[in-house]
């Protein structure tokens, strides 16, 4: 049975390619993204309240390490194999090192539909994985230029960005409330989640369709990079998930996270911290290639990887 | 009849990521206030459809005197025109209460 999340995404994509006048109101898009981030945070937070702190700390450390290594690999490929300038290589590397919460949500929906359980604390690792790559990206862009002071500003701005505020805020509220305390919120933040995700994917299909013309300007190397990196990073994520001692579902989600590329936190952080990098380059491949690849092909692939090593 | 006074209307259309920086520049240039609205459109940096975070744009209008307008335009162009989607223009307008628009 096809996944509804994928079908809604395909509908949005088809509508944009057919030049339909369908346009999701921007406030609805914003409201849905706030909802999805909070819902994931709350669910993970309630699970955090019942988890062993030492195991979580170990997992968080491994996630930070992964979040630092991925952008370094991406940077090396872009800079030395692709000959792309330092600023653009660093900015694109930050996008690929950081994570896409929606790709994670799509992965979670895929696993749920197949009754594959995963650690309920996974949203905590999403929040942990989101930021390190942004800092590494800024460092790579600024190292040796005498403008390292940008780093503190990036930390501040990334921490105050909406995705971290809502995800980390949801985690904190969920942890304070616990399972019982969050139970009254379940009708809104739990039961409606999958439907809301479908609406959001419809809009992302429209956005991705709009990015396809810009792909031509990104060039064959970047497009190839955007296709090759997700399986490679997915394998590294799966390995990290295995080291963390995660279950089959947990490993699949770690692989999905590592394979995903940020399109909310990273563009916002890179825009101000590395303004000379061309945002059209990174966005066209992140949204035009990597996101649809992960949703359509990647997630089932990462689930298979996880099944093989779990 | 109410006396009318000449002022400049500076209109800045920029990517939404730049809004806070533009507003800081306004304050430093000595402008008294501004009006901001969401915008979408196409320019030299392509289509900005306003349908997700990275393609949002803002239009900021500032009423001020000629000196402030000059400082503002100079500062905005020097700081942001090379790297950001930003366009601006200055129009001659008249206002009834000039003290509001330094």
Q: What confidence score (pLDDT) does residue A148 get?
A: 60
How many angstroms away from the CA of B46 is the closest CA of chain A? 9
CA of B21 to nearest chain A CA: how many angstroms apart?
9
- The vertex-A106 CA angle with A121 and B54, nearest 5°, equals 100
A275/B51 Cβ within 8 A? no
Q: Which residues in chain B have Cβ-Cβ distances shorter than 8 Å to A203?
A: 51-52
Structure-token pair, residue A1: 């049975």
**B58 contacts on A by Cβ (under 8 Å):** none
Instruction: List the single residue in B38, B49, B82 with the smallest CB-CB distance to A210.
Output: B49
* Chain A residue closest in CA terms to B20: A272
Query: Given a cut of 90, is residue B1 above it in pLDDT?
Result: no
* Interface residues on A facing B, Cβ-Cβ cutoff 8 A: 23-24, 26, 29, 203-204, 206-207, 210, 214, 263-264, 267-268, 271-272, 275-276, 279-280, 283
Chain B residues with CB-CB distance to A24 below 8 A: 51
A contacts of B50 (beta carbons < 8 Å): 26
Mean pLDDT by 10 residues, chain A (310 residues): 89 95 90 94 91 88 97 97 94 96 95 94 94 92 70 78 91 94 94 94 92 86 96 98 96 98 90 88 93 96 95
Nearest CA in chain B to A275: B83
Could you say which of A26, A263, A283 has the minimum Cβ distance to residue B50?
Answer: A26
Residues from chain A that touch B56, judged by Cβ atoms under 8 A, are: 26
ipTM: 0.81
Confidence (pLDDT) at A201 = 94
Assess contact for A283 and B54: CB atoms under 8 A: yes
> Are A267 and B53 inside 8 Å of each other by CB?
yes
Q: Which residues in B lie closer than 8 A to residue A262 (C-beta atoms)?
A: none
pLDDT of residue A149: 64
Nearest to B52 among A29, A214, A279 (CB): A29
Taking the C-alpha atoms of residue A148 and residue A154, their distance in angstroms, rounded to an integer, is 10
Q: What is the pLDDT of residues B3-56, one digit of tens each?
A: 999 999 999 999 999 999 999 999 999 998 999 999 999 988 888 888 888 889
Structure confidence at residue A86 (pLDDT): 93
């Amino acid at each position: 049975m096809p996944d509804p999340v994928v079908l809604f995404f395909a509908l949005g994509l088809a509508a944009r390619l057919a030049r339909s006048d369908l346009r999701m109101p921007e406030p609805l898009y914003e409201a849905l993204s706030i909802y999805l981030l909070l819902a994931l945070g709350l669910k993970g937070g309630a699970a955090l309240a019942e988890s062993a702190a030492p195991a979580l700390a170990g997992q968080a450390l491994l996630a930070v390490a992964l979040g630092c290594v991925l952008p370094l690999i991406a940077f090396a490929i872009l800079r030395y194999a692709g000959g792309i300038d330092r600023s653009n290589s660093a900015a694109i590397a930050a996008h690929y090192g950081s994570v896409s919460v929606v790709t994670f949500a799509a992965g979670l929906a895929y696993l749920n539909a197949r009754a594959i359980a995963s650690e309920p604390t996974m949203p905590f690792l999403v929040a942990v994985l989101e930021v390190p790559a942004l800092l590494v990206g800024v460092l790579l862009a600024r190292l040796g230029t005498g403008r390292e002071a940008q780093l503190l500003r990036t930390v501040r701005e990334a921490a105050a960005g909406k995705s971290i505020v809502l995800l980390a805020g949801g985690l904190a509220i969920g942890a304070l409330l616990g399972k019982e305390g969050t139970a009254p919120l379940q009708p809104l933040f739990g039961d409606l989640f999958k439907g809301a995700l479908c609406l959001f994917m419809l809009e992302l299909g429209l956005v991705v369709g709009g990015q396809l013309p810009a792909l031509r300007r990104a060039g064959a190397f970047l497009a190839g990079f955007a296709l090759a990196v997700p399986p490679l990073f997915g394998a590294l994520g799966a390995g990290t998930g295995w080291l963390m001692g995660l279950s089959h579902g947990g490993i699949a989600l770690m692989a999905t996270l590592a394979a995903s590329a940020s399109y909310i936190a990273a563009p916002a952080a890179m825009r101000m911290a590395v303004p000379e990098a061309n945002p059209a380059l990174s966005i066209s491949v992140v949204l035009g290639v990597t996101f649809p690849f992960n949703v359509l092909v990647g997630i089932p692939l990462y689930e298979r990887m996880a099944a093989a090593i779990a | 009849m109410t006396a009318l006074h000449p002022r400049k209307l500076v209109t800045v259309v920029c990517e939404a990521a730049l809004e806070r920086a533009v507003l800081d520049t306004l304050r430093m240039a000595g402008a008294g206030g501004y009006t901001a609205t969401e915008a979408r459109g196409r320019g030299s940096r392509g289509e900005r459809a306003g349908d997700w975070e990275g393609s949002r744009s803002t239009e900021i209008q500032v009423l001020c005197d000629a000196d402030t307008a000059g400082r503002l335009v100079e500062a905005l162009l020097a700081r942001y025109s090379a790297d950001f989607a930003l366009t601006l223009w200055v129009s001659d307008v008249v206002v009834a209460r000039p003290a509001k628009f330094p």
